Amino acid sequence: MLTHAELKAKALQNADVKQAYDGLEEKYALLREMLHARSAAGLTQAEVAARMDTQAPAIARLERLGKHSPSIETLRKYAQAVGCKLEIRLVPQEP
């Protein structure tokens, strides 16, 4: 049986799989930042929700980053709720 790392390495040898995987990097980078910020603030989803004047299931959906992309305003409110500020940058792509 393959380990997770071995299975991932094998799958990424396929060009189509690698392209799809790489295309998700930005979305999951944002998710990692959000989860790290909430954890560093020592807050639960319910506590973040209260600070954003919403319900915990809304925060759960936001942290899943599924089909719906959050608005900049929602991200700003989330950042403020976890004691951060939202910073958006455009970074030149590597050739």
Is residue 74 in some structural domain?
A: yes
- Residue 24: predicted pLDDT: 83
Single-letter amino acid, residue 19: Q
Q: Of 88, 83, 87, which is closest to residue 38 (Cα–Cα)?
A: 83
If one counts the domains in the chain, the total is: 1
- Residue 55: predicted pLDDT: 97
Model-wide pTM > 0.85: no
- Residue 40: predicted pLDDT: 97
Is residue 94 in some structural domain?
A: no
Is residue 77 in some structural domain?
A: yes
Is residue 89 in some structural domain?
A: no
- Where in the sequence is the domain holding 48, given as residue range(s)? 4-82
Q: What is the DSSP letter of 34?
A: H
pLDDT tens track, the chain, 95 positions: 889 999 989 888 999 988 888 888 888 888 999 999 999 999 999 999 999 999 999 999 999 877 778 999 999 999 999 999 999 999 898 88
Is residue 57 in some structural domain?
A: yes
CATH code of the domain in which 46 resides: 1.10.260.40
